[in-house]
């Protein structure tokens, strides 16, 4: 469950100024995107094994594209909600961070570990508490 990972994740960005908070979120998002890339690549490597069809691989890639489009649209909408304030960029970055961490966890759960979680290919990723 995603909530179980909250204690392991990095703390919420709590700078005193808007630029400090944005810098924190930008840094954390870059780390989360690098982790997502590693987990996506590992999932794709795993799909090269027996029992995974070309259709499954194509569906995975289609899902990845759809997820990226969703993240972009959702987080732009979140930013739009705050369009009159200085918090706009922080809210968009926070949204992107949250969705990226959740996607990484989904990849791990669906492709990189067994149902009993006994032998994961990569470690269980952390999901930050709500920012």
What distance in Å separates the CA atoms of residue 63 and residue 73, rounded to the nearest whole number? 15
Encode pLDDT of 88-114 as tens digits.
Answer: 999 999 999 999 999 999 999 999 998
Give a yes or no: residue 23 inside a domain. Answer: yes
Token pair 């990723």 is at which residue? 125
Give a yes or no: residue 101 inside a domain. Answer: yes
Give a yes or no: residue 63 inside a domain. Answer: yes
Give a yes or no: residue 6 inside a domain. Answer: no
- pLDDT at residue 130, as a whole number: 60
Q: What Cα–Cα distance (Å) separates residue 24 from each residue in 14, 17, 62, 81, 121?
A: 8, 11, 31, 21, 29
Give a yes or no: residue 128 inside a domain. Answer: no
The domain that holds 97 is classified in CATH as 1.20.1270.180
Q: Copy the structure tokens of residue 94.
A: 């926070």
Q: Is pLDDT of 75 > 70? A: yes
Q: Is residue 99 within 8 Å of 71, Cβ to Cβ?
A: yes
The domain of 35 spans 14-111
Give a yes or no: residue 62 inside a domain. Answer: yes
* pTM (two decimals): 0.85
């Amino acid at each position: 469950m995603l909530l179980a990972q909250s204690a392991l994740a990095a703390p919420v960005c709590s700078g005193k100024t808007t630029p400090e908070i944005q810098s924190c979120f930008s840094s954390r998002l870059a780390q989360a995107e690098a982790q997502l890339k590693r987990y996506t690549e590992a999932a794709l490597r795993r799909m090269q094994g027996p029992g995974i069809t070309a259709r499954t691989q194509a569906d995975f890639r289609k899902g990845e594209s759809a997820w990226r489009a969703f993240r972009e649209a959702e987080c732009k909408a979140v930013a739009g909600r705050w369009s009159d304030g200085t918090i706009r960029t922080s809210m968009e970055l926070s949204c992107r961070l949250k969705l990226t961490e959740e996607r990484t966890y989904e990849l791990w759960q669906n492709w990189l570990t067994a149902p009993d979680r006994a032998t994961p290919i990569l470690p269980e990723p952390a999901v930050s508490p709500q920012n």
